[in-house]
Amino acid sequence: MSAPQERTALTSRPSLYTYALRLAQDRPDRPFGGGHPLPDEPPEPERDGPRGKRAFAAVEAALGPLLAGPDSPAAMAELQRLLTELPVHDGPLVGAVLAMTLDDEAAARAIGRHLTRTGTTRRPVSVGLALLRRLGEAEDVPYLKALCGLRGLFSLAVAALEPLDPQTAALRQLDARISSPETRPLVDALLSGDRREIRSRLIRQPLGARTIAPEPARWIAEAVGLAGLPGQGPADPRLLAQVGRLLARMASSRGTQPELLAYREATAAFDALVRRAGALPPTTEHAVVLLALALDLHSGQAHVLPWRDGQREQLLDELGALVLSPEWAGVVLAEPAADAPPALRRRAIWLRHTTERVFRATDPPGRLRIEVAHPDPDDPGSVETRFLLDGRPLLPESFGHGPGGHPDHLLDRGALTATAEPREVKLAEAWCTEGCCGALWVSVVREGDTVVWRDWRRPGIPPSRTRAPEPPAYRFEAAAYTAELARATGDRGGEWPGWTMARLLGAALRDRPELSARWGLAFSSAYTDYRNPDTTVVTFVQRSTDSTGRWFTWKLADDGRPPTARVADALYRLAEEDPRGDA
């Protein structure tokens, strides 16, 4: 669009782009939360139009012809009129623009630029940003940066900016979203551009599961230029370890999307770190970092990154040679001392089991491989079931919104057992719960000598995200399938005592419902406490006549005895005492 056309499009009310520029100049101390508020807008008509698919169809029918035409003043005036009158709320309107078919991308790009640069209210600018999210180019970056400064447009503007300038987009996200005292100093250092301060703050930044979620971890990685850090100057073990921790946090399945797959420099960062991993002293902390990355290369998101032929396997070989070397073997393969504190025992069990799983497993590969994975020994809530089909992890590519289900349900209680009657099995659930972002379901059925996984069911996803490919039907030889279920169910090498206690006690209470029924209760679940994983939590429900219920929890701390002895004691206590006395 020419400069005269842009000037003609402006009215007496300044464009939101001009408004954002003025605020950036006059008030550079932009507040947190996505920027300055939008200016007051003229009242809009009530919108009580179609929703869902009907809304998308209405938007495409109304806007489709205009988005394929010229960005002339007359066409733009007609588009503005349609946007004002269209009885669809802003959310479905933007979603439809993100999803609709565009017959002429060049024309749609020009219209998106016109709306973004000259629009005077949020609705047309939002549509323009949605178009540029799909079609933006380098020349759009200055406009997108400016519009990131307006709170009502921040999410759309930063999403359009990310594929064009990921580092700046990450900085804007961190500035807008992060205010915690643990992480804000790093954000302020990044905004200052002081490289020495950035390095210092990054080295000191807590990067545990309870401090940094997967998405902010990716923002930090983008903002600091993570892939280039391992090769800068003499190897610094502190910095190398932090690079590994950020990669591990991005690889966590406890997020709304697979952040490691969204990080464009992930393969370069893995490669750079592994090449310098020998500079890390052989400590437990460093072993946890390297083995977490190895586990992800083996069966997680990192497995499905766009590697060069043989590159992933080479990195695993290099990590294996390092952690199995004499200097490291005493760290990763050490048996926990009998009197070691529970946290140290958990970590030692995890180190040994993960090393054996990734680098010493001798089981022949089959069509289906099921593995119980525990990606982070300091985050016991991360236990999940992973599925490798023809050697490739299923969930990162086919779902990606959360982890595989807990083995207690999928394996121990036989959810994956195949019978002649099809059964629908939930393989994975969104981290924010199924009610929010859905789950991955599959029908499991035995047909003669074959087990079939078919009729996949997945949630609808926001049009702003790329839909994962639909999994095909998978067919397995029944005897091999049954053997693999038995092998995976019997693999208890990664369990710590609290987990074993919860598993055994849960199974016993399901088999003996009379123990809780005598107190007017029904057993619900047994699991390890989120904050204290060496404590077993048992939940009961007391049903009432109106079908509602009251929930009770019974907490059993680890007293150092074997789990079997503790389970027997708990069952005896439940037979003699109402557990609500301890609830």
End position of a domain, from candidates 470, 490, 510: 490
Highest mean pLDDT among 9-23, 293-307, 547-561: 293-307
CA–CA distance, 219 with 225 (Å, rounded to integer): 10
Residue 115 has pLDDT above 80, yes or no: yes
Residue 489: C-alpha distances to residues 190, 246, 369, 395 (Å): 47, 31, 12, 19
Residue 148 has pLDDT above 90, yes or no: yes
Residue 465 has pLDDT above 70, yes or no: no
CA–CA distance, 375 with 367 (Å, rounded to integer): 23
Residues 249 and 219 reside in one and the same domain: yes
pLDDT per position as a tens digit, 357-390: 999 988 777 899 999 998 887 776 679 999 999 9
End position of a domain, from candidates 114, 132, 164: 164
Residues 455 and 515 reside in one and the same domain: no
Specify the pLDDT at position 5. 45
Residues 253 and 339 reside in one and the same domain: yes
Nearest to 496 by CA among 327, 378, 366: 378
* The two structure tokens encoding residue 466: 């790329």
When pLDDT is cut at 50, 70 and 90, the band that residue 28 belongs to is low
User: What is the β-pairing status of strands 536-543 and 549-556?
Assistant: antiparallel
When pLDDT is cut at 50, 70 and 90, the band that residue 188 belongs to is very high
pLDDT per position as a tens digit, 492-540: 999 999 999 999 999 999 999 999 999 999 999 999 998 888 999 999 9
Residue 347: C-alpha distances to residues 356, 396, 494 (Å): 14, 26, 10
Residues 29 and 62 reside in one and the same domain: yes
Q: What is the DSSP string of 264-323?
A: TTHHHHHHHHHHHGGGS---HHHHHHHHHHHHHHHHSGGGGS-PPTTHHHHHHHHHHHHH
Residues 82 and 7 reside in one and the same domain: yes
When pLDDT is cut at 50, 70 and 90, the band that residue 203 belongs to is very high
User: Which residue in the block uniquely carries the two structure tokens 């089981």?
Assistant: 363
Phi-psi map region of 193: left, alpha, beta (phi>0 left; psi -120 to 50 alpha): left
Amino acid (one-letter) located at 316: L
Residue 466 has pLDDT above 70, yes or no: no
Q: Is residue 436 a part of any domain in this protein?
A: yes
When pLDDT is cut at 50, 70 and 90, the band that residue 73 belongs to is confident
Share of the chain above pLDDT 90, in %: 69
* The two structure tokens encoding residue 573: 């206590």
Residues 262 and 212 reside in one and the same domain: yes
Phi-psi map region of 390: left, alpha, beta (phi>0 left; psi -120 to 50 alpha): left
Other C-beta atoms closer than 10 Å to the C-beta of 370 total: 21
CA–CA distance, 341 with 498 (Å, rounded to integer): 13
Residues 461 and 550 reside in one and the same domain: no
Residue 391, classified by CB atoms within 10 Å of its CB into exposed (0-12), middle (13-18) or buried (19+), is: exposed
Amino acid (one-letter) located at 385: T
Specify the pLDDT at position 180. 94
Residue 479 has pLDDT above 50, yes or no: yes
pLDDT per position as a tens digit, 81-111: 888 888 888 888 999 999 899 999 999 999 9
- The count of domains in the chain is 4
Q: Is residue 21 a part of any domain in this protein?
A: yes
Specify the pLDDT at position 127. 96
When pLDDT is cut at 50, 70 and 90, the band that residue 296 belongs to is very high
Q: Is residue 367 a part of any domain in this protein?
A: no
End position of a domain, from candidates 142, 164, 186: 164
Q: Which residues pair with 428 in a beta bridge?
A: 404, 440
Are 470 and 441 in contact by the 8 Å Cβ rule? The answer is no
Sequence-distant (6+) residues with CB within 8 A of 568 are none
Residues 184 and 328 reside in one and the same domain: yes
CA–CA distance, 298 with 152 (Å, rounded to integer): 42
**Predicted model pTM:** 0.90
* Better-predicted residue by pLDDT, 161 or 463: 161
Q: What is the average pLDDT across 1-28?
A: 70
Residue 273, classified by CB atoms within 10 Å of its CB into exposed (0-12), middle (13-18) or buried (19+), is: buried
Specify the pLDDT at position 413. 93
Q: Provide the mean pLDDT of the chain.
A: 90
Residue 11 has pLDDT above 60, yes or no: no
When pLDDT is cut at 50, 70 and 90, the band that residue 75 belongs to is confident
Q: DSSP letter for 263, please.
A: -
CATH number, position 524: 3.10.450.380
Q: Is residue 372 a part of any domain in this protein?
A: no
pLDDT per position as a tens digit, 325-338: 999 999 999 988 87
* Better-predicted residue by pLDDT, 80 or 214: 214
Q: Is residue 369 a part of any domain in this protein?
A: no
Residues 534 and 577 reside in one and the same domain: yes
Structural domain harbouring 443: 378-490
Specify the pLDDT at position 54. 84
Residue 341 has pLDDT above 50, yes or no: yes
Residues 189 and 316 reside in one and the same domain: yes
When pLDDT is cut at 50, 70 and 90, the band that residue 27 belongs to is confident
Q: DSSP letter for 425, please.
A: E
Residues 226 and 321 reside in one and the same domain: yes
Residues 83 and 102 reside in one and the same domain: yes
Q: What are the percentages of helix, strand and coil residues in the chain, rounded to 5? A: 55, 10, 35
